[in-house]
Amino acid sequence: MRFYSIRPLVFLLLCVCVQKTAATVPDSSSNQRQKHLDRLLSFFEINDGVPGNPHAIRVSPLDSSWMAWLHRTGELPPDFDSMPGHPTMPDPLVMNDDGQSIPVRTVQQWLDQRERMKDQIQYWITGTCPPAPDNLEAKVLNETITDGITRQQIELSFGPQHKARLSVELFIPPGNGPFPVFLTQSNHLSWAKLAVRRGYIACLYAGNDRNDDADAWAELYYPDYDFSLLMRRAWAAHRTIDYLYTLPVVDKSKIGITGHSRNGKQALMAAAFDERITACIPSSAGTGGEIPYRYAREKYTVETLKVLTGRTTSWFHPRLRFFVGNEYKLPVDQNYLMALVAPRHLMLSSAFTEPYGNPWGIEQMYHSVFKVYEFLNAKDHLALSLRLGGHGILPFIIEEYLDFFDYAFGLNNMRPRTDSFWHYSFKEWLTLSGENIDPRDFPEKDLDDLLVKANDSKISSVKEWENKKKTLYKTIQWSLGKAPKGVEERSPQSLSQYHDRQDYMDDIVGRPGATESMGRKVINGLGDLQHGFLYYPKHQNTGKLPVLIWLHEYSFSSGFQPTWPYTSAFSIEKLVNQGFVVFTFDFIGMGTRIKEGKRFYQRYPTWSKMGKMVHDVQDAITLLQNLDDIDPQKIVVAGYALGGTIGLYATALDSRIHATAAFGAFTPLRRATHEKGLLGLKEYSHLHGLQPRLGFFVGCEKRLPYDFHEILASIAPRPLLLVSPKYDQDICFADVSECVSLVGQVFELYEKTEKLTFLAPEYYNQFIPERFQELCRWLNSLDLVSATP
């Protein structure tokens, strides 16, 4: 993908002088804010053409002038330590007035809240726009009529001395009108043809990478306004509507806008800030579109805020980049933009298998914005369309967009569908399961109970610890729910009995294939798991090989191995070249198994998704132990984020696992409270629906019957690698560090303290090359690979 030069230096210069202060930045010493900036700069390389930058792309060096903007303006990040954290999206229906949260109850409150949201969005994300010009002039440069369709090429001029220019192209269907309008960017000519066929005026404006009249407006409106590139393009749509409003052939009550990818981002901005737009479809707009920034972090295998603002510094206001690694602190999110569209018609559209997408995050966006539409008595005006496929668009999808516009404009009564694959609520689970647990039946505990018996005496021997571990095993298993009985299958015992043919879903999400040195087998009929991938050295010794089971993060759209290289540095082939077999698979509800997870709790109300994931790991171990090529005593599990958490549970419950490594995988739950700005138990019980039973202990965290220190200690004395970045937003590092220190006492009981490795990098939670290197070094230290004779 190529990103074109768009004069970002002019834009960033413009940002220097705009002093709009609608959003409140907490006061703090400049020293503290400088500290945050220094930490931020350590999180990423500035893409300024420096040789060796692995993320370098072909752009003008000026596209990477964020550092120059910092030097010119002297701007510093806010003091994140003094800002409230919002692990979930801020609620558009809650006003923040001098630190007080006030629910929106009346229409007037909502109108006031809309203005606050506009100000904050402009301050942090889009930059500020000039008012509508009062001197717009239009010149028809060319007009042709073919088969009754009128095609016009128009030049608009406006602004200071009419220096702003905007090219617009109209396709007007036969008849007298007035006609509804299909408004989009000039690179979507094929879409325009479909719209005209459906009786729309198709209107194309020059606001895209290959034809961008909005580029020059930053300099023209300097120094009074600092609208970013995508906001300038959205403003181009507004100026196009100014012209459309002068035409009798236009039905002014029926103007719909859409755009794809980055054009979808600007279409949403346009609709949010111009109520003359009556319907909007941001198509596969991704991060900065329909995906919240909070759920555009590395653990979701998505186009992150770091990538988005690093590769395309002028798309958004430079301030947005301050929040890389601190997305929870962002005072706004994309649900605010969508809420500004309400009660007008809005469809969120993407592919649930889209590369570097997060369809689960899109669903969370929908549910957040739905509350606003419900408040405004416009529930039927909001739609969610999640299709099978990739990032591209086919004609039938545009036809569906036109169907939605027809519905919005009263031209049909086909109510659009709402696609949902991750619909879950703790409240609904309570009804399905019939469970009722009173946390007051459990004693309060902290982390200091690890080596304490039930009678409060101290554990001082391995035997005493092993006795306690039996109880912990049952408690941990209880938290995962009751697994249904299944039928055990006997798996083939040789790799030669498997093939290398993947199915169509694997083709869609993308899978690493065999290489010159690495073979691949697709494993089907694997117990309840059914489907996995095994990679092995082609030129192996005659002896049995060690195996690494890799467990992926919250990778909803692509599962275990995405094709997007910017979020994870994990390399299957490098591990295979080290002498390991690598086995991996998709978790339920992700990648090729999205639909499998859709009605999980309707089918298994007393089990849990986390329990199913752990069960799948155990199925994989059973398969691997039965393969002639695998050494059953050398099975290692490793994972990142969610995968690391699953690996810890599985290893605590299954002694067949020789060693485990977990990256950014936990924080002690008894201490992960709302007051610390952490989601804690709710991440498992409410947000992702992984362990619903934990939801009974929200607000009573001290009564949780087990915690991660007990899970970790149950792994002893087997080798355990824990990597916990100090600036992970989902943890309290001091609590994690204390937890690991206590676990070390159990390893000490076994006289195996060297088996516990704890690394705390000065970074946020991303599986960067350094993390992969740490994994490789640790694996080498296990001495599992036989020397070549």
β-pair type (279-283, 250-260): parallel
Q: What is the pLDDT of residue 526?
A: 66
Looking at per-residue pLDDT, the higher value among 502 and 137 belongs to 137
Q: What is the pLDDT of residues 254-285, one digit of tens each?
A: 999 999 999 999 999 999 999 999 999 999 99
Distances 218 to 11, 18, 255, 652, 730 between C-alpha atoms, Å: 6, 12, 27, 58, 38
Q: What is the pLDDT of residue 374?
A: 98
Share of the chain above pLDDT 70, in %: 90
Q: What is the CA radius of gyration of the chain?
A: 28
Q: What is the per-residue pLDDT for 492?
A: 60
Average pLDDT, the chain: 90
- Identify which has the larger pLDDT, 395 or 48: 395
Residue 17 has pLDDT above 50, yes or no: no
What's residue 566's pLDDT? Answer: 59
Residue with tokens 């210069």: 13
**Of 33 and 539, the one with more pLDDT:** 33
Contact 561, 588 (CB under 8 A): no
One DSSP character per residue, 212-266 reads EGGGGHHHHTTTT----HHHHHHHHHHHHHHHHTT-TTEEEEEEEEEEETHHHHH
Q: How far apart are CA 357 and CA 392, in angstroms?
A: 13
pLDDT tens digits for range 710-730: 999 999 999 999 999 999 999
Q: What is the rounded distance in angstroms from the CA atom of residue 162 to the CA atom of residue 175? A: 33
The percentage of the chain sitting over the pLDDT mark of 90, rounded to a whole number, equals 77
Predicted confidence band of residue 570 (pLDDT cuts 50, 70, 90): confident
Q: What pLDDT, on a 0 to 100 scale, did the predictor assign at position 61?
A: 32
Mean pLDDT of 153-177: 97
Distance in angstroms between the alpha carbons of the first and the last residue of the chain: 46
**Strands across the sheet containing 137-146:** 137-146, 149-158, 164-172, 201-205, 179-185, 250-260, 279-283, 345-351, 382-387
Instruction: Indicate if the pLDDT at residue 770 is higher than 70.
Output: yes
Pair 294, 287: CB distance under 8 Å: no
Residue partners of 394: CB distance under 8 A and separation at least 6:
none
Pairwise CA distance, residues 187 & 259, whole Å: 10
Residues 347 and 70: beta-carbon distance below 8 Å = no
| pLDDT of 404 above 70 | yes
Amino acid at 683: E
